[in-house]
Structure 1
Amino acid sequence: MEKVRLPSLLEVAIVLLLFLAVVFSFTTLGLPIQLALFISWFIMIILGLRLGYRYETLQEGIIKGISNGLEAVLILFAVGALIGTWIAGGIVPSIIYFGLDLIHPSVFLLATLIICSLTALATGTSWGTVGTAGIAMMGIGEALGIPLPIVAGAVLSGAYFGDKLSPLSDSTVLAASMSKVNVISHIKSMLYLDVPAFIITGILFTITGFFYGGKEVDIERVSFIMSALDRTFHINLLMLVPAIIVISLLVMKKPSIPSISIGALLGVLWAFIFQDMNVKDAFNTAYYGFSIDSGIEFIDELLNRGGINGMLSSIAVIILGLGFGGLLERIGILKVIMNTFVNKIKNAGSLSASTIFVGFLSNVFGCAMYVSLILTPKIMESSYDRLKIDRRVLSRNTEVGGTMTSAMVPWSDNGIFMAGILGVSTLSYLPFMWLSIVSIVLSIVYGYAGWFVWKDEGDKV
């Protein structure tokens, strides 16, 4: 029988500082973040042994942590294949082409926000949205001369807005289920926060869009890019059929992994049928991604991406991060942190701020959104029950602290995926993640003002 104890606050501080030191050192030296996470496992294992845990128990914690987020790994495999084949099949290039032809520069950022919101709402996946519509909008934005960090901010704001309000989203379902809340009730409670945040975000991007759209757009450059796309790919409306099919499958609540995989297969067929690519090369784009040497730097940088192989680095980060998060949970790191200020939580305002802080910390130290969505409700639920605040508020604040901040952490699963796909560093697009920033502010204001904070067994949404 193991005789274990919780770590002291000093022990927690030491191991977390060591973790941050390892991560920042590896980042500064240009070493793989995956190695930093792997080394951090051993820091936690040493602390676990000191606390009385056996190796077997700690290994079980790692395995359980990884298994909790395994769906994210499988989705990433499918999304990687989808990106590679949709570029090869002319689907993404066609979206870019039509976007350049139809979207006026002054409303481009607002259009990006809305398009990515609708795509994520319909499909329930922020990753799939960023990997398809997001890539296309980045290409259009660059062609129009709009700074890419701002475009990335609009893409991510839209993707996370739609994802959080979609009953098809695995993260939405996870946040609700871990908080013991019905998914529809959770989404209805999110509306009180997300709709005002979306309106404010839309106004900000509209103003910014008029500023950049008011500048003289290089029409010749736009025409040159459209012409280059038209020469490189067969562009027509038929290229949008795979996107319509995948969105339809997800709207019909079909599981995301097979739906996205079907989309990848359609991309292979479209590459063979419409883009004159042989079968072997078309299938290879699903694993190795799309590759072209068009002689046009913009086209090559934008479209040479995707494939399962291109996702392996991100997958390694997710697996190692999930394992690290499993160790955090097993030895009670975040529980100790929470216990240090749980008695200071006296009202809904401090409770909301604390929940968001714990969710963010879980992303920082757990390195994965799934870790945050699992740990935050477990740690905070007793405080909500003590103050008799409805669990719908817990699930809503968990989403804000866990999901909305996940792409803000450079070494988290979302941070690495979004930066890699969009081609913009995490710290560059972070200041423009306006939906997330506004949501955090509104959540805390709601808490202190008592707005849309329901008492347990009180008003129903």
Structure 2
Amino acid sequence: MDKKSSFAGLSPLVFFLALFMGTGIITGNFTNMPLLLAFIFASGFALLLDKKGEKTSLSDKIDIFSKAGGEPTIILMVVIFLLAGAFYSIADAMGAVSSIVNLGLNVLPANMLLPGLFLVGCILSFSMGTSMGTVTALAPIGVGIATQTGISLPLVLGTVVGSAMFGDNLSFISDTTIAATRTQGVELRDKFKSNLFIVLPAVIITLIILSFMSGGNAQLDTYEYSLVRIVPYAAIIVSALIGLNVMVVLAIGISSGAVIGLAMGDFNMVELFGVLQRGMGWMEDLAIIAIVVGGLVGLMDYYGGINYLLETVLSKVKTKKGAQLGIASLVSLIDIATTNNTISIITAGPLAKDLSKEYDINPIRTASILDIFSSAFQGIIPYGGQLLLAAGIGKISPVEIVPFSIYSFLMIVFGLLSIMFDFSKVRSTNN
């Protein structure tokens, strides 16, 4: 059945953006309007609307919202988010986070501080799957390096933020990776190979640039670490690379972390339950947002808004490259508006999937585009959580850090180049 298109069907999204952005601009703080609350208000607004030329009862609209929010892909994503939170919590509690940071710092050459710091951040963010966790762990160390060597503090913190976005984009347990692969129905390792081919030049160029910007000959302190405590991260990476289901991957990481933590006396069995619950609690807000956004998109689709947006984009798009640029633009704009790259992927995902089908774009490539551009812009918006956190730790303005988030800018450059020159032709492992 052909769907009617209607601009009015997009009004809930316009309402959300006006509410969220307006509150941030007026108050000067974009955290004053919680994302979940803004989406709840937008959903309430959506329930007041009606399909063009038709009258739908409130109970029917609530049913549409509930079915869309409870769509199997979204519910599976919610469960994976909770498991990812549990893994990060247990890795933190049993010392895996501090061990992997300290291991990297111990092999950091004093005359290559910035490239070394960037590599440590890349390894840490890839292992943990959380950019905020990476900034939390490395920013204080970065401040110490800047103080000890005289290297520009904004440059050091920009290096930390850039390395954090590396993991957000590539990690097997990052919520952005999970969202991108689940919305497009592709495998983790396929998206990883596609992304890595695109961003590897950005990593190399970042390291070269940072090597010229490093200075000072200060010797860093010796940091203690335990190779045994890094096992959960190694288990996550290996199991994901061999193609195990993401649920199994996370289960392996959680169980190995639990066994090692119990054996080394980091917590007892009862405390372990609390650690797992704490991590799931960290992801509850995101999980609920994913459900609400799914329901909201379902209503907008019913009202003809998604079809209108698709037709509008398609009217400007004439080629496969144009469609890919459209997907990149859409997810980037939503990230700029919401300051959350995961939510931008969840929101743009359905439209991106439609565009992929329309222009015969490999869904692996679509997942890569969604993840690359949302993560890149997340690393350069001064009111985003990563830059706000880094700036708060360094006691400087986040605007000062933006020009030095070198890797984030290069992600955009090479993302665009990959579209223009058709990089990364990765085949699905299911084929």
Asked whether the 8 Å contact 1:356–1:402 carries over to 2, the reply is: no
Kindly provide the amino acid, as one letter, of the partner of residue 108 in structure 2: I
Which gives a bigger RCO, structure 1 or 2 (Cα 8 Å, sep 6+)?
Answer: 2
**Secondary structure of the residue that 2:260 maps to in structure 1?**
helix
Asked whether the 8 Å contact 1:86–1:92 carries over to 2, the reply is: yes
1:18 aligns with 2:27: no
Q: For residues 272 and 423 of structure 1, what CA distance do their matches in structure 2 show? A: 35
State the match for 2:45 in structure 1. 43
Q: CA deviation at 1:218?
A: 7.5
Call closer, same or farther: CA 1:236–1:403 in 2, change over 3 Å: closer
Call closer, same or farther: CA 1:380–1:242 in 2, change over 3 Å: closer
Call closer, same or farther: CA 1:208–1:77 in 2, change over 3 Å: same
1:266 aligns with 2:238: no
Q: CA deviation at 1:217?
A: 4.6
1:201-220 matches, within 5 Å, as 201-208=203-210, 210-211=212-213, 213-215=214-216, 217=218, 219=220
State the match for 1:343 in structure 2. 315
1:160 aligns with 2:130: no
State the match for 1:399 in structure 2. 368
1:321-360 matches, within 5 Å, as 321-340=293-312, 342-347=314-319, 349-360=321-332
Q: For residues 264 and 3 of structure 1, what CA distance do their matches in structure 2 show? A: 46
Call closer, same or farther: CA 1:344–1:264 in 2, change over 3 Å: closer
1:148 aligns with 2:138: no
Q: What do you get for the CA RMSD once the two structures are aligned? A: 4.5
Q: For residues 85 and 391 of structure 2, what CA distance do their matches in structure 1 show? A: 13
Task: Return 5+ residue gaps in structure 1 as ranges.
Answer: 289-306, 385-389, 455-461
Q: CA deviation at 1:403?
A: 5.1
Q: CA deviation at 1:38?
A: 0.3
Q: CA deviation at 1:200?
A: 3.3
Q: For residues 128 and 421 of structure 1, what CA distance do their matches in structure 2 show? A: 17
State the match for 2:103 in structure 1. 98
Asked whether the 8 Å contact 2:189–2:240 carries over to 1, the reply is: no
Asked whether the 8 Å contact 1:26–1:33 carries over to 2, the reply is: no
Q: For residues 104 and 154 of structure 1, what CA distance do their matches in structure 2 show? A: 18
Q: TM-score, normalised by structure 1?
A: 0.68
**Secondary structure of the residue that 1:405 maps to in structure 2?**
helix
Q: CA deviation at 1:330?
A: 3.1
User: Bigger shift: 235-244 or 365-374?
Assistant: 365-374
Call closer, same or farther: CA 1:423–1:439 in 2, change over 3 Å: same
Asked whether the 8 Å contact 1:352–1:447 carries over to 2, the reply is: yes
Partner deviation per Cα, 1:6-32 (whole Å, 9 max, x = no partner): 323xx3575443221211345447243
1:279 aligns with 2:269: yes
1:414-425 matches, within 5 Å, as none
Q: For residues 262 and 86 of structure 1, what CA distance do their matches in structure 2 show? A: 12
**Secondary structure of the residue that 1:452 maps to in structure 2?**
coil
State the match for 1:6 in structure 2. 5
Q: CA deviation at 1:239?
A: 1.8
Q: CA deviation at 1:128?
A: 2.9
Call closer, same or farther: CA 1:58–1:335 in 2, change over 3 Å: farther
**Secondary structure of the residue that 1:34 maps to in structure 2?**
helix
Call closer, same or farther: CA 1:423–1:41 in 2, change over 3 Å: farther
Partner deviation per Cα, 1:289-340 (whole Å, 9 max, x = no partner): xxxxxxxxxxxxxxxxxx2223323333333333323333333323313423
Kindly provide the amino acid, as one letter, of the partner of residue 160 in structure 1: N
State the match for 1:313 in structure 2. 285
Asked whether the 8 Å contact 1:76–1:315 carries over to 2, the reply is: yes
Kindly provide the amino acid, as one letter, of the partner of residue 356 in structure 1: A
Kindly provide the amino acid, as one letter, of the partner of residue 75 in structure 1: I
State the match for 1:251 in structure 2. 241
1:215-226 matches, within 5 Å, as 215=216, 217=218, 219=220, 222=221, 226=223
1:81 aligns with 2:109: no
Call closer, same or farther: CA 1:151–1:420 in 2, change over 3 Å: closer
Q: CA deviation at 1:41?
A: 0.4
Q: CA deviation at 1:4?
A: 8.2
Task: Return 5+ residue gaps in structure 2 as ranges.
Answer: 147-152, 425-431
Q: TM-score, normalised by structure 2?
A: 0.72
User: Bigger shift: 399-408 or 34-43?
Assistant: 399-408
Call closer, same or farther: CA 1:13–1:154 in 2, change over 3 Å: same
